[in-house]
Amino acid sequence: MSLVMRPEINRGDPRLQQPWTHAPESVADALAVDPSRGLAADESQRRRQRYGSNVFRESKPRPALAILLAQFRSIVVILLFAATALALVMGDGIEALAIGVVIVINTALGFTTEWRATRSMESLRQFARTETTVLRNGRPERIATASVVPGDVVLLEAGDVVPADLRLHEASKLQADESALTGESLPVRKHVDRVAPDATLLERPNIAYGGTSLTRGTGSGLVVATGMDTEFGRIFDQVSTARPQQTPLEKRLDALGKRLVWLVLLMAVLLAVIGVLTSRDLALAIEVSIALS
């Protein structure tokens, strides 16, 4: 009885680490697949057991209330609230209203941005429930997007959502909308030619990224990354696991805000003390110190 040795994929192979800089035939060789036939059904199943399903890791979505409350953590926002309260105490309703409008606009913008990012990540996780067309033993076959594995040959046409990161093998007038990934507003023309090793995401037209949509043309591609190993998967992992961090500007504003808080408190105390010592009217002294602070 002879044992059939199945070819294994070396994930550290440079052809898979930087597929955009290698010819599609070379990438196919690294993936141990014939681009004209695709994978056999049993080999596809074996690879799915080895590499996992083409899905993003489950994570608890961030509640809308938590996103909203996070907008009020900045010391600058706290100072604006204090200024609003002070304006109301002094009877300056117009100034209080103006500051309140600034707070509302700032909160709305921050909340909307974070909420959209959360919903985008959730929609990316849902797209694994769709279907895509691959080659199985040389024949086109519709399968669940979650079943796509490294080495699959995916058939592409306009209107499709790319199921995983692909090294394009064929491309005929193929264009993709990559705005969700790169921010590029115009459709990107795709081709199969090699590009430089140091090419950025925007400079890899021979790669079709999972989660992007095709706007024109037809083609085929070799799956080089699935699930959390895709470019979108890496972004999803960073967003879902990393704690929110302040930008350098936000850090400087918070530091300045804290200094201002202590300075305001110190001035208020000094003015109150001076007022008491000079006028002996405690209520008036406190009112003046609050107003000037």
Distances (CA, A) of 255 to 83, 121, 249, 250, 266: 18, 32, 10, 9, 17
262 forms beta bridges with none
Q: In 3D, which of 114, 129, 230 has the Cα closest to residue 178?
A: 230
Q: Give the type of residue at 226.
A: T
pLDDT value of position 52? 92
Highest mean pLDDT among 54-63, 75-84, 206-215: 206-215
Residue-wise pLDDT for 198-216, tens only, equals: 999 999 999 999 999 999 9
Rounded CA separation 74/254 (Å): 7
Q: How much is the average pLDDT of 159-176?
A: 96
Rounded CA separation 263/92 (Å): 23
Contact 228, 165 (CB under 8 A): no
Q: Which helix (H) or strand (E) holds 170?
A: strand 165-177
More confidently predicted of 290 and 231: 231
Q: How much is the average pLDDT of 83-106?
A: 80
Q: How much is the average pLDDT of 79-93?
A: 76
For residue 210 the two structure tokens come to 């999972």
Residue-wise pLDDT for 228-282, tens only, equals: 999 988 887 776 665 555 556 566 766 766 777 677 677 767 766 776 677 656 5
pLDDT value of position 157? 97
pLDDT value of position 34? 96
pLDDT value of position 56? 82
pLDDT value of position 246? 59
For residue 75 the two structure tokens come to 């010391």
Q: Where are the domains of the chain?
A: 14-56+129-232, 247-293
pLDDT value of position 163? 95
Q: In the chain, how long is the greatest CA-to-CA distance?
A: 108
User: Alpha helices, DSSP H only, in the chain?
Assistant: 14-17, 24-30, 41-51, 64-70, 75-89, 93-126, 179-182, 231-241, 248-279, 282-292
For residue 41 the two structure tokens come to 């059904």
At residue 239's C-alpha, the angle toward residues 234 and 244, to 5°, is 140
Residue-wise pLDDT for 14-56, tens only, equals: 899 999 999 999 999 999 999 999 999 999 999 999 999 998 8
Q: How much is the average pLDDT of 215-220?
A: 98
Which residues, in sequence order, are CB contacts of 203 under 8 Å at separation 6+? 195, 196
CATH architecture for segment(s) 14-56+129-232: Distorted Sandwich (2.70)
Banded pLDDT at 3 (limits 50, 70, 90): very low
pLDDT at 87 over 80: no
